[in-house]
Amino acid sequence: MPSALFSPISSPSRRVLAALLLTGSALSAQIIAQPAQAQSTDARAPTSVTLDTVVIDGSLESPIGGGTGYLATNSATAFKGGVPLTETPQSVSTVTEKELDDRKPRQIQDALAYVPGVTAGIWGVDDRFDQFLIRGFDLGTSGIYRDSLPNKAQNFSGFKIEPYMVQRIDVLRGPSSVIYGSNDAAGMINVISKRPKFENFAEGQLSYGSHKTASVGVDAGGVLDPAKTLAWRVTALRRDGSTAIHDSDNDRSLIALGLTWAPTDQTEVTFLGQWQKDALTPNSFMPVAGEDYPARFGDLPKSFTRSQSPFNRFATEQYSFGWQARHDLSEQLTFRQNYRHARQKTDYRHLYFNGMHDPDWNPTEDSMNFAAFAVDEVARQDAIDNQLEYRSTVAGAENRVLLGVDYTRQQVTGTAAYDASYQVDIRNPSLNFPVAYPPIYSDSRTTVTEKGVYIQDHLKFDNGLSLTAGLRRSWLENRNHDRLSGTTTVQKDSATTGLFGLTYDLGNGFIPYASFTQGFTANIGRTFAGEIYQPTKGRQWEAGLRYAPTDRNLLISGAIFDITKTNVLTSDPSNPGFSVQTGEVRHRGLELEARGNLTEQLSLIGGYTYLDPKITRSNDGDAGHLTPLAPRHQASVWLDYDFSGAAQGLSLGGGGRYIGATWGDTANTRRVSAYTLADVSLRYEWDAYVAALNVTNLFNKEYFATCDASVGCITGAGREATLTLSRRF
């Protein structure tokens, strides 16, 4: 029974064909199946017929499957019905199941390290959230989706995703508001959860790594009934450990459940549930000698910069449940519904460096001010997406029209507390002192709802031309109830966005494309005059060229893009503390990417990004400056080689990542140096066992991930090594 929710096949042999499609590679198979007229005959004397050889095109692989090797050729992220990447007029990259298995990333942001246009770990060692840049824009926690539904952070509740429960990650670059509503112009990532398969499988794994971090994991599933209409899957993980920070936590308990019900070829429902409990560690900015305080005091000792206050904690507990359903109403009409409810409780306490000043905000040279901050909150998310897809022929072209209606409700209720009265002598720094729970300054309930209606159309002509167009209307409401004052404020916004693009398959492996896309994000608050902020608008022009050779599983692509964001908030020159919407930011650039197999044994992931990130309008005097955090140059390459002969079962992977210099502020006064990191993976497979050694930042390069003009710098992740032993049952 098929497990994909997209691209239905209606024929008597659909079950056999779908199983082949899910292998994700070009196959040739001879299928023995019952003809339609024989299905009602006596089962003891079945009639069979030998069909002609069927050639399966790799482009028909499941758009939510794990891909083939390091390449996925189909995606349901840019077009929710699922189309080949060669017909998608926008940059999409996929971190496949094999890449996740080979590299074994510790966090979702680590999984994105080799995707061009993405800057991962820009906020250093910070386990609270997955944070990253796309095309130079810091969207991090606001650009994460799971199974095509929002998984965005609410205040300090990040709904963090464990990579062990993931089967692929799609990265869509550029505005995506037509299909996903309020979203940054940079793009988004879509994390696809592991789900049941109609086959029996089981795997157990043990791992041990840096900072005495140990874990045990189980991933198992199978078929529940003889008719193969029910399949299940359980993924569980228990981890106990720490980070490079002294007395830190890196603990996780996770169980994810899946159940697929497919009573007929026309109907399939997959239920997904998850429970996760974390004890993690906040990040830490620290001042730098000669920049944040006089050089005569010397560098802070590592014993201090790699320590934290006993007051610190980041403890969360989350759960979610939902479903993804598909029903073919006819040969031409398909209905889909995706739904998820999620809840997270967060207990966050942090004593952090707050600048070189005393409690009255008077600068000093020898005293570091530390602030105690605490959050106790509960966040909830509900999201539902209804889709109706109609397939027909228009002007000789295959036409797919997708009409969607979606609704999202996000609510966070809780308190925030703050006390900036703690001083630490820079000549004898220590965090070993008692910290009281700070006074509460905020107690509120914020509810954000968004409703949207959208339409997508995909036309594919016989001459190789494909057209994609879309339009959306969104309505948003932000309601904040201040429980301290008893007051309630309401802000309403609306936006209309569109997209248009085309691809043209020249027939020789080359596919040029071009597109125009729009996006928007809501802004909360009012001007000095009391006017509600309008949404920030984004638009992108993109043109590219893909090369997909027919003799190997490889895709090479290049793209140029121009993203402009308008209605950006910038300081009000006449009324300090308020903002006006006269800001504008423009990012232009070039991206190159190669993914797939160079030979049967050698696989490649390579990328390069050139970026020109400019603040084009601002009231702060920053017009013409470069956008903070955004590197001009970024490059990466990962190679994996599978040995043969006497070394059969052995594979060696290695890569390097270069992140160019960045600025830590809009005034471009704080420069952050470039850095290069190396990673390696060694894997040996025999019988049912796999042993793997994974090391990131192999040479333990010391670097700053980013800096800020007022609160110093944050250190990037050092060397992390993990040894994993797995067994299939």
CA 722, CA 681: separation in Å to the nearest integer? 10
Task: Give me the pLDDT at residue 721, please.
Answer: 97
pLDDT tens string 78-127: 999 999 999 999 999 999 999 999 999 999 999 999 999 999 988 887 88
Say if residues 240 and 209 touch (Cβ distance below 8 Å): no
CA 567, CA 518: separation in Å to the nearest integer? 14
pLDDT tens string 485-528: 999 999 999 999 999 999 999 999 999 999 999 999 988 777 87
Name the nearest CA neighbour of 518 among 494, 538, 495.
538
Task: Give me the pLDDT at residue 17, please.
Answer: 31
Give the bridge partners for 50, in sequence order: 32
E strands, 74-177, in order = 74-75, 83-84, 92-95, 118-120, 132-134, 137-138, 144-146, 149-150, 166-173
Residue 697 identity: N
Give the bridge partners for 643, in sequence order: none
- What is the pLDDT confidence band of residue 699, given thresholds at 50, 70 and 90? very high
* Mean pLDDT of the 705-713 span: 89
Task: Give me the pLDDT at residue 7, please.
Answer: 35
Task: Give me the pLDDT at residue 2, please.
Answer: 37
- What is the pLDDT confidence band of residue 363, given thresholds at 50, 70 and 90? low
Between residues 431 and 38, which one has the greater pLDDT? 431
3-state secondary structure at position 239? strand
- Helix (H) / strand (E) element for 655: namely strand 650-659
Between residues 593 and 123, which one has the greater pLDDT? 593
Give the bridge partners for 182, in sequence order: none
- What is the pLDDT confidence band of residue 660, given thresholds at 50, 70 and 90? very high
Between residues 23 and 488, which one has the greater pLDDT? 488
Between residues 16 and 437, which one has the greater pLDDT? 437
3-state secondary structure at position 630? coil
The model scores a pTM over 0.85: yes
pLDDT tens string 241-269: 999 998 899 999 999 999 999 999 999 99
Say if residues 305 and 715 touch (Cβ distance below 8 Å): yes
User: β-pairing, 267-280 with 313-328?
Assistant: antiparallel
What percent of the chain has a predicted confidence (pLDDT) above 90?
80
pLDDT tens string 549-580: 988 899 999 999 999 999 988 877 777 777 88
CA 414, CA 156: separation in Å to the nearest integer? 10
Domain boundaries, the chain: 74-192, 193-728
Residue showing tokens 């998608």: 88
- What is the pLDDT confidence band of residue 38, given thresholds at 50, 70 and 90? very low
Of 339-348, 365-374, 425-434, 527-536, minimum mean pLDDT range? 527-536
pLDDT tens string 374-394: 999 999 999 999 999 999 999
Domain 74-192: give its CATH superfamily. Answer: TonB-dependent receptor, plug domain (2.170.130.10)
CA 327, CA 264: separation in Å to the nearest integer? 9
pLDDT tens string 156-166: 999 999 999 99
Residue 123 identity: W
- What is the pLDDT confidence band of residue 538, given thresholds at 50, 70 and 90? very high
**Concatenated DSSP letters of 521-552:** E---SB-TT-PBPPPEEEEEEEEEEEE--TTS
Q: What is the longest distance spanned by two Cα atoms in the chain?
A: 93
In this predicted structure, the answer to whether residue 42 has a pLDDT above a threshold of 60 is no
In this predicted structure, the answer to whether residue 57 has a pLDDT above a threshold of 60 is no
Say if residues 597 and 603 touch (Cβ distance below 8 Å): yes
Say if residues 347 and 377 touch (Cβ distance below 8 Å): no
For all residues of the chain together, what is the average pLDDT?
89
What percent of the chain has a predicted confidence (pLDDT) above 70?
91
Task: Give me the pLDDT at residue 359, please.
Answer: 56
Task: Give me the pLDDT at residue 61, please.
Answer: 82
Give the fold, CATH level 3, of 193-728: Maltoporin; Chain A (2.40.170)
Q: Which residues of 70-85 are buried (b: 16+ CB within 10 A; e: fewer)?
A: bbbbbbbbbbbbbbbb
Question: How many residues are recorded in the chain?
Answer: 729
